Amino acid sequence: MQRLAPALREDNVPLDLISLIETILAATKEISFRVSQGHLSDSMGSTLDENIQGEVQKKLDVVANELFKDILLESGFVKAVSSEEEDTSVAGDEDGKYIVSFDPLDGSSNIDINSLIGTIFSIHQAPTDMAASNPDMFKQSGNHQVCAGYVLYGPSTTLVMTTGSGTHFYVLDRTHGGYLLVERNLQVPEDTQEFAINMSNQRFWQQPMQSYISDLLAGDTGPRGKNFNMRWIAAMVGDIHRVLTRGGIFTYPADNRNPEKPYKLRLMYEANPMSFLIEQAGGLAMTSQGRIMDIAPTDIHQRVEVIMGSKNEVEACLAYYK
- What pLDDT is recorded for position 164? 98
Say if residues 228 and 221 touch (Cβ distance below 8 Å). Answer: no
Query: CA 162 to CA 7: how far, in whole Å?
Result: 11
Among 232, 197, 192, residue whose Cα is nearest residue 214: 197
DSSP character string of 8-28: HHHTT--HHHHHHHHHHHHHH
For residue 51, pLDDT beyond 60 = no
- What pLDDT is recorded for position 57? 60
Q: Which of 14-18, 30-34, 141-145 has the lowest mean pLDDT?
A: 30-34
Confidence label for 43 from pLDDT (cuts 50, 70 and 90): low
For residue 212, pLDDT beyond 90 = yes
Confidence label for 299 from pLDDT (cuts 50, 70 and 90): very high
Among 189, 144, 190, 188, residue whose Cα is nearest residue 164: 144
- The mean pLDDT of 4-21, rounded to a whole number, is 98
62-106: pLDDT as tens digits: 999 999 999 999 999 999 999 999 999 999 999 999 999 999 999
Task: Return the axis-axis angle of helices 59-75 and 15-37, rounded to nearest 10°.
Answer: 160
Q: Indicate the residue type of 315.
A: E
Among 119, 121, 131, residue whose Cα is nearest residue 101: 121
- The mean pLDDT of 147-166, rounded to a whole number, is 97
Q: Which residue has the higher pLDDT, 197 or 114?
A: 197
Query: CA 12 to CA 15: how far, in whole Å?
Result: 9
- The mean pLDDT of 114-118, rounded to a whole number, is 91
237-288: pLDDT as tens digits: 999 999 999 999 999 999 999 989 999 999 999 999 999 999 999 999 999 9
- What pLDDT is recorded for position 48? 44
Query: CA 95 to CA 80: how far, in whole Å?
Result: 10
Confidence label for 54 from pLDDT (cuts 50, 70 and 90): low
- What pLDDT is recorded for position 69? 96
Q: Indicate the residue type of 290.
A: G
Sheet of strand 98-106: strand arrangement: 2-3, 178-183, 167-173, 157-162, 145-153, 117-125, 98-106, 78-83, 90-91
Q: What is the mean pLDDT of the chain?
A: 94
Neighbouring C-alpha atoms within 13 Å toward the C-beta of 38: 10
For residue 46, pLDDT beyond 80 = no
Query: CA 19 to CA 135: how far, in whole Å?
Result: 24
Percent of the chain with pLDDT over 70: 94
Confidence label for 49 from pLDDT (cuts 50, 70 and 90): low
Query: CA 29 to CA 251: how far, in whole Å?
Result: 29
Q: Contacts for 155-164 with beta carbons within 8 Å, 24 or more apart?
A: 157/28, 157/29, 157/32, 158/241, 159/25, 159/28, 160/186, 160/241, 160/244, 160/277, 161/21, 161/277, 162/276, 162/277, 162/280, 163/8, 163/11, 163/13, 163/17, 164/276, 164/280
Say if residues 208 and 224 touch (Cβ distance below 8 Å). Answer: no
Query: CA 98 to CA 104: how far, in whole Å?
Result: 18
DSSP character string of 115-183: --EEEEEEEEEPPTTS-TT-GGGG---GGGEEEEEEEEESSSEEEEEESSS-EEEEEEETTTTEEEEEE
3-state DSSP call for residue 254?
coil
- What pLDDT is recorded for position 96? 98
Confidence label for 115 from pLDDT (cuts 50, 70 and 90): confident
| Stated length of the chain | 322
